[in-house]
A and B are shown apart, each in its own frame.
Chain A
Amino acid sequence: MATMKLEIVTAEGTVYSGEVDSIVAPGDSGELGILPNHAPLLTSLKSGNLQVTNNGNREIITIGGGFLEMLANTVTVLADSAELT
């Protein structure tokens, strides 16, 4: 199955980095699901939970607003704050 690269970066450092199967992000205008090979996308995020699925494992990362960029099968999340829960 196809995967994509996810990187969650805050000003204090990289919080998450790895290959994932899918992402559900708290977009400014609603929840937003992203699968591998999504079209280029840039969106602002509000604070909330970012859900990452990787080989059937679900991980929740709490973020405090920021941006999500999908480009060339790489998702970069620039978060004001982020914490693995």
Chain B
Amino acid sequence: MPSLRQIRSRIRSVQNTEKITRAMQMVASVKMRRAQLAAMASRSYTEKLSTMLSNLVSMSDGDLDETNPLLEVRNEENVTLIHITPDRGLCGALPGNLNRQANDFLRQSQETKEISVVTVGRKGNDYLSRITKKLDGFFTGLGDRPNLTDINPIAELVVDAFIQGSTDAVYIGYAEFVNTVNQTPVLKRLLPIEPAEISTQESGGFIYEPGPMEVIDALLPRYVGAKIYQGIRESIASEESARMVAMRNATDNANELAKDLKLQANKIRQASITAELLDIISGTLSIEG
């Protein structure tokens, strides 16, 4: 049985931890709200861009394959994976889930393809740099609110590699934000670009300024950038949500633990009082007797 003093010091340490996790929970929930709004905003931007793109492609009678290198479908021998993860931990199972997805992807296709990796975020880099040697790039410190221009270097890296032919397909893996308690790791193909099926919207008879080819040449690189940006935004929203939930669980657990310890401490206190009383009673009895 631990002494009363030991239990009291444990209670104090648990309560201190609870204070920290509660503070982190509150910080994360503020960041989470902002990050979720930003993720939604970038989602609508990407969707609009993708509608524009499919309208454009549906207009041009399928002879686009030769017109822009970003649309060219090649045999997948060299593949690049962009792995987006949080920079910081204490966000539950999120980085682990993302890393498992990347690991599965590497394992499945390693036999038939050469896979090089571009990591965004420290958690994924720490993990993948241990299991693969082909690390093409590492980006970190994008912060909570990156701009579209901040991710340009990432987009340039993969677009250049794709155009030069050193990679035949680019995949992007990130945590898709579903809701506060639910984030799913997803893996999507980024390049070559596959325009979505033509929307039901009436799309005929567009006037293009300066011309359809010029517009598509300007649109495609932006589309790649927007996709990566959206992946990062979703990942940030997922990260903050996961952290908020993880910290809330930690706070709840700390409270629970403190409650149990207090009960235990009170029991010991009571037992020692009872023992003292017994001593006194037996003492007085022996004097009287």
Chain A residues in the interface with B (C-beta under 8 A): 9-14, 27-29, 32, 39-44, 66-67, 69, 71-72, 76, 78, 80-81
A39 to B218, CA, bound (A): 22
Across-interface contacts of A76 in B (CB, < 8 A) = 48
Return the chain B residue nearest A29 by Cβ: B210
Interface residue total, chain B, C-beta cutoff 8 A: 34
Closest Cβ–Cβ distance, residue A32 to chain B (whole Å): 7
Across-interface contacts of B215 in A (CB, < 8 A) = 42-44, 67
Return the chain A residue nearest B49 by Cβ: A78
Across-interface contacts of A28 in B (CB, < 8 A) = 209-210, 214, 218
A76 to B49, CA, bound (A): 10
Which B206-235 residues sit within 8 Å CB-CB of chain A?
206-210, 214-215, 218-219, 222, 226, 229-230, 233
- Residue among B38, B148, B230, B233 making CB contact with A80, cutoff 8 Å: B148
A-B residue pairs in contact (CB < 8 Å), sample of 21: A9-B44, A9-B48, A12-B38, A12-B148, A27-B209, A32-B209, A39-B207, A40-B205, A40-B206, A40-B207, A42-B52, A42-B206, A42-B209, A42-B215, A43-B215, A44-B209, A44-B218, A71-B203, A76-B48, A80-B148, A81-B149
State whether the Cβ of B56 lies closer than 8 Å to any Cβ in chain A: yes
Interface of A is mostly: strand
8 new A-B contacts, CB < 8 A, other than A11-B226, A13-B38, A40-B205, are A11-B42, A40-B204, A41-B207, A42-B207, A43-B208, A67-B215, A69-B52, A76-B48
- Residue among B37, B45, B52, B204 making CB contact with A11, cutoff 8 Å: B45
Is the beta-carbon distance between B52 and A78 smaller than 8 angstroms? yes
State whether the Cβ of B13 lies closer than 8 Å to any Cβ in chain A: no
Is the beta-carbon distance between A80 and B222 smaller than 8 angstroms? yes
Across-interface contacts of B56 in A (CB, < 8 A) = 42
Across-interface contacts of B44 in A (CB, < 8 A) = 9, 14
A69 to B206, CA, bound (A): 9
Task: Given A71-B201, A76-B48, answer yes or no on A12-B41 (Cβ-Cβ < 8 Å).
Answer: yes
The 8 A-B pairs of least Cβ separation, nearest first, read A43-B209, A13-B41, A44-B218, A29-B210, A41-B207, A11-B45, A40-B206, A11-B148
State whether the Cβ of B116 lies closer than 8 Å to any Cβ in chain A: no
Across-interface contacts of A42 in B (CB, < 8 A) = 52, 55-56, 206-209, 215
State whether the Cβ of B129 lies closer than 8 Å to any Cβ in chain A: no
Across-interface contacts of B230 in A (CB, < 8 A) = 11
Return the chain A residue nearest B56 by Cβ: A42
State whether the Cβ of B147 lies closer than 8 Å to any Cβ in chain A: yes
A43 to B45, CA, bound (A): 17
A79 to B148, CA, bound (A): 11
A72 to B147, CA, bound (A): 31
Return the chain B residue nearest A44 by Cβ: B218
Closest Cβ–Cβ distance, residue A39 to chain B (whole Å): 6
